[in-house]
């Protein structure tokens, strides 16, 4: 229940009822030569005048607000808001919002005390019947409720005491501040939503680039493989059949397929470790037929890890880098090793070779390796790592480490 408007009644009595009632009482007392009759007449007249003003005021305010009640007659109006932000952020929002009031001047604005106090210039649609200077005194007090929750108390009242009627000015002030705060919060949340959308769009773009990368088969590799297979058909049909079989396996794993995508683990990764190593193994088997004894391949992956989710094309990129930059140009060739293992929390895949290593002027920051780093950062939020180090006595070791939790194809 709202409090009775004692301040309104007191002010109206002092500045309207007593002066005008006193004049009427004096007139009656003088005319009838009776002081008691004059006092009674003055009191009745003052009471009736205050009642008529109150009824007129209430009728006028009901036109503005159908929910207006007797408790709203007070010239001081307060409201409380609970904001889903910290107390410091709520203070900043309130500082911005009070500027929506015409002619607002803050003489107290303390972030340490979480308080704003000032006066307005008195402009706006609503107003007062006032005997004093125009304008209102605005007070904003902020109280922290939780780490990301704050209570804001707004108060609007006349800047001077000489005031009789408030025709919605205080309500207008509080509504303006409340709307300003709502606008500021909406704009802030829209900015956060736009930032999230940009991050999601960047992730989608990365995945789209990955799809293109998966669908892209190196033309020279394909042409050389087919040319070698055509030559071997006449010279060594068995090896030609083996090469074509490996080529089919490689192509099946490289070209995106709706069936394969539906079989991918439901954890944000588009392939499995077993599928990726199968692709790279087929690629290396084709190269072994072309390079002969110059290329040796070692693959060590426990069967229990075959179903673990793993980002597509990363193993293939590392294998192609080892062949192109390490073994292909090395006289006598060498060995490439693919190893998969787990720690307590991580799934670690390494691709190593004993080739010529990084040449002078290179640092392992090519487009393929940059793509791996960017995808790991976007997909795992800093919980995955990529490293490229020298392999003693020669060659390089590339390692990808991703969180072990959630990589199981059967995990939900």
Q: For residues 182-219, b (16+ Cβ closer than 10 Å) or e, as one string?
A: eebbeeeeeeeeeeeeeeeeeeeebbeebeebbeeeee
- Cα angle 80, 86, 88 (rounded to 5 degrees) comes to 90
Sign, Cα dihedral of 77, 82, 86, 89 = negative
Q: Are strands 334-342 and 295-300 parallel, antiparallel or unpaired?
A: parallel
Comparison of pLDDT for 193 and 295, the residue scoring more = 295
Q: Can you tell me whether residue 5 is helix, strand or coil?
A: coil
Task: Tell whether the model's pLDDT for residue 150 goes beyond 90.
Answer: yes
DSSP 8-state assignment for residue 408: B
Write phi, then psi, for 133 (nearest 5 degrees).
-70, 145
Q: Ranked by mean pLDDT, which of 138-152, 159-173, 349-363, 379-393 comes out on top?
A: 138-152
Over residues 26-76, the pLDDT tens digits come to 888 888 888 888 888 888 888 888 888 778 777 777 776 676 666 666 677
CA 386/CA 402 separation, integer angstroms: 9
**Low-confidence winner among 6-15, 282-291, 323-332 (lowest mean pLDDT):** 6-15
- pLDDT at position 337 is 95
- pLDDT at position 206 is 67
Q: Torsion-angle region of residue 135: left (phi > 0), alpha (psi -120 to 50) or beta?
A: left
Comparison of pLDDT for 170 and 202, the residue scoring more = 170
Nearest CA to 397 out of 320, 337, 323, 311 is that of 337
Comparison of pLDDT for 120 and 122, the residue scoring more = 120
CB 366 within 8 A of CB 315: no
Average pLDDT rounded to a whole number, residues 136-157: 91
- pLDDT at position 411 is 46
CA 329/CA 135 separation, integer angstroms: 85
Over residues 206-246, the pLDDT tens digits come to 666 666 555 555 666 777 778 878 888 888 888 888 888 88
Task: Tell whether the model's pLDDT for residue 266 goes beyond 60.
Answer: no
Give the mean pLDDT of the chain: 80
Sign, Cα dihedral of 222, 351, 296, 394 = positive
Burial class (CB in 10 A: 0-12, 13-18, 19+), 49: middle
Comparison of pLDDT for 86 and 197, the residue scoring more = 86
- pLDDT at position 1 is 41
**Low-confidence winner among 49-53, 77-81, 168-172, 328-332 (lowest mean pLDDT):** 168-172
Position 145 confidence tier, pLDDT thresholds 50, 70, 90: very high
Both ends of the chain: CA-CA distance in Å? 53
Q: What's the whole-model pTM score?
A: 0.49
CA 243/CA 246 separation, integer angstroms: 5
Task: Tell whether the model's pLDDT for residue 258 goes beyond 60.
Answer: no
Contact partners, residue 212, CB within 8 Å, separation at least 6: none
Position 361 confidence tier, pLDDT thresholds 50, 70, 90: very low
Comparison of pLDDT for 392 and 264, the residue scoring more = 392
- pLDDT at position 122 is 62
Write phi, then psi, for 146 (nearest 5 degrees).
-155, -175
Torsion of CA 89, 94, 99, 105, to 10 degrees: -110
- pLDDT at position 407 is 57
């Amino acid at each position: 229940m709202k409090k009775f408007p004692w301040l309104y009644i007191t002010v109206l009595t002092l500045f309207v009822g007593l002066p005008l009632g006193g004049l009427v009482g004096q007139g009656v007392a003088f005319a009838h030569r009776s002081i008691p009759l004059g006092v009674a007449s003055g009191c009745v007249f003052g009471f009736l005048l205050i009642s008529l003003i109150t009824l007129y005021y209430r009728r006028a305010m009901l036109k503005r607000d159908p929910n207006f009640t007797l408790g709203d007659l007070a010239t001081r109006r307060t409201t409380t808001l609970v904001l889903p932000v910290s107390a410091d952020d709520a203070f900043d929002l309130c500082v911005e919002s009070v500027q929506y009031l015409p002619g607002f001047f803050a003489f107290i604005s303390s972030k340490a005390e979480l308080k704003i106090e000032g006066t307005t210039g008195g402009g706006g649609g609503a107003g007062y019947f006032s005997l004093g200077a125009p304008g209102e005194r605005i007070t904003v007090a902020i109280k922290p409720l939780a780490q990301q929750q704050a209570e804001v108390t707004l108060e609007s009242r006349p800047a001077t005491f000489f005031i009789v009627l408030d025709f919605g000015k205080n309500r207008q002030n509080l509504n303006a501040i409340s709307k300003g705060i709502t606008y500021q919060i909406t704009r802030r949340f829209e900015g956060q939503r736009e930032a999230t959308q940009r991050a999601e769009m960047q992730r989608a773009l990365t995945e789209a680039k990955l799809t293109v990368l998966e669908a892209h088969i190196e033309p020279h590799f394909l042409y050389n493989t087919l040319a070698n297979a055509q030559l071997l058909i006449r010279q060594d049909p068995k090896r030609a059949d083996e090469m074509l079989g490996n080529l089919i396996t490689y192509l099946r794993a490289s070209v995106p397929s709706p069936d394969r995508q539906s079989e991918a683990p439901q954890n944000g990764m588009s392939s499995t470790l077993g599928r990726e190593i199968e692709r790279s193994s087929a690629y290396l088997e084709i190269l072994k037929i072309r390079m002969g004894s110059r290329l040796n391949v070692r693959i060590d992956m426990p069967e229990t890890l075959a179903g673990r989710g793993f980002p597509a094309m990363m193993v293939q990129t590392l294998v192609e880098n080892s062949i192109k930059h390490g073994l292909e140009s090395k006289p006598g060739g060498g060995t490439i090793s693919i190893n998969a293992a787990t720690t307590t929390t991580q799934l670690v895949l390494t691709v190593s070779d004993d080739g010529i290593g990084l040449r002078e002027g290179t640092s392992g920051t090519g487009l393929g390796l940059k793509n791996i780093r960017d995808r790991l950062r976007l997909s795992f939020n800093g919980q995955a790592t990529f490293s490229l180090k020298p392999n003693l006595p020669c060659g390089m070791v590339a390692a990808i480490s991703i969180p072990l939790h959630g990589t199981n194809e059967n995990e939900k």
